[in-house]
């Protein structure tokens, strides 16, 4: 079933979303603050609106994908009174509280809002692994899910408008934490004259793949560490990693995640 969809924002992500909707056969209108960013979308059937109001009026569902919460407010504020009765899906990254406040603000103008968090990067939008978190009214999610499916598997995470943003940021935190670890790993190899590319290919990649399932399963908020995890052994290992770092002269900041883990292990040992 074709739906009239407007996309506000044609950054890398907005263009990828618009492209996936066009590909799926939806009737797509696009708008961007700076004109001329529609690329080949117009040639492929999308229409470029000259104003936000024109884009919103053209659509049954408007998808917003801008830089941040401030840019969403700045874009919608001048036309908010015209949004009454319309449906918006906000896929702009923000904090959970910003998402809740945006929903309250828009609902005050009679707008139905589904908040989202994109678990994809522009090249993976619409591919098998891509999924999008949504929060807000379940009935609205269920109605929109088939329309939104072309950009990534829709996954509802609760009525609380802040939850898509919360889960999005929490998942990104996991990713950035891993990035800190992998940056540190290659810095150690590089500082010691090792072959970084070979290390990545032959050691880091297979090791991370083997450990990922344990890292996710073992992620924990409690102050205790399961016995089989052997906190004393882990603490000794972390001390060795920090010593290796110091020997290699790798910046202490890069080893910050090791110090945080060591602190947790020492605390667990003290509590046992």
What DSSP assignment string belongs to 208-231? Answer: HHHHHHHHHHH---SS---GGG-H
Shortest CB 110 distance to ligand FVH, Å: 23
**Which residue lies nearer to ligand FVH by CB, 121 or 203?**
121
Output the CA torsion sign for 185, 187, 191, 197: positive
- Asked if 130 contacts 151 with a C-beta cutoff of 8 angstroms, the reply is yes
Pairing of strands 112-119, 131-135: antiparallel
**Which residue lies nearer to ligand FVH by CB, 53 or 196?**
53
Shortest CB 90 distance to ligand FVH, Å: 9
**Which residue lies nearer to ligand FVH by CB, 179 or 224?**
179
Shortest CB 37 distance to ligand FVH, Å: 6
Distances (CA, A) of 22 to 54, 105, 117, 214: 19, 30, 21, 39
Shortest CB 93 distance to ligand FVH, Å: 3
Shortest CB 60 distance to ligand FVH, Å: 22
Shortest CB 69 distance to ligand FVH, Å: 9
Binding site for ligand FVH (CB under 6 A): 9-14, 32-34, 37, 65-68, 71, 74-75, 92-93, 118, 121-122
Q: Which residue is nearest to ligand FVH (CB)?
A: 11
**Which residue lies nearer to ligand FVH by CB, 100 or 268?**
100
Give the containing element (helix H, strand E) for 107.
helix 96-107
Partners of 104 in beta bridges: none
**Which residue lies nearer to ligand FVH by CB, 67 or 178?**
67
Q: In what order do the strands lie in the sheet with 4-8?
A: 47-48, 27-31, 4-8, 61-64, 87-90, 112-119, 131-135, 153-156
**Which residue lies nearer to ligand FVH by CB, 93 or 161?**
93
Distance CA 44, CA 67 (A): 25
- Residue count of the chain: 272
User: CA gyration radius for the chain?
Assistant: 23
């Amino acid at each position: 079933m074709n739906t009239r969809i407007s996309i506000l924002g044609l950054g890398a992500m907005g263009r990828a979303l618009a492209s996936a909707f066009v590909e799926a056969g939806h009737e797509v209108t696009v708008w961007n603050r700076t004109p001329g960013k529609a690329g080949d979308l117009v040639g492929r059937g999308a229409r470029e609106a000259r104003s936000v109001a024109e884009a919103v009026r053209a659509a049954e569902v408007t998808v917003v994908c801008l830089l941040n919460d401030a840019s969403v407010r700045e874009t919608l504020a001048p036309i908010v009174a015209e949004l009454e009765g319309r449906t918006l899906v906000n896929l702009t990254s923000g904090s959970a509280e910003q998402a809740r406040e945006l929903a309250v603000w828009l609902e005050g103008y009679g707008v139905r809002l589904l908040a989202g968090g994109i678990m994809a990067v522009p090249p993976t939008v619409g591919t098998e692994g891509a999924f999008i978190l949504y929060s807000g009214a379940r009935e609205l999610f269920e109605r929109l899910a088939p329309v939104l499916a072309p950009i990534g598997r829709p996954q509802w995470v609760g009525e609380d408008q802040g939850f898509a943003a919360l889960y999005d940021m929490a998942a990104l935190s996991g990713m950035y934490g891993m990035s800190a670890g992998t940056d540190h790993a290659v810095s150690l190899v590089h500082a010691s004259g090792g072959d970084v590319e070979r290390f990545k290919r032959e050691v880091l990649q297979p090791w991370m793949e083997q450990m990922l399932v344990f890292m996710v399963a073992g992620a924990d908020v409690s102050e205790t560490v399961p016995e089989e995890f052997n906190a004393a052994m882990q603490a000794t290992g972390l001390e060795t990693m920090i010593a290796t770092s110091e020997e290699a002269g790798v910046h202490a900041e890069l080893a910050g995640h090791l110090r945080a883990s060591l602190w947790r292990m020492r605390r667990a040992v003290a509590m046992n």
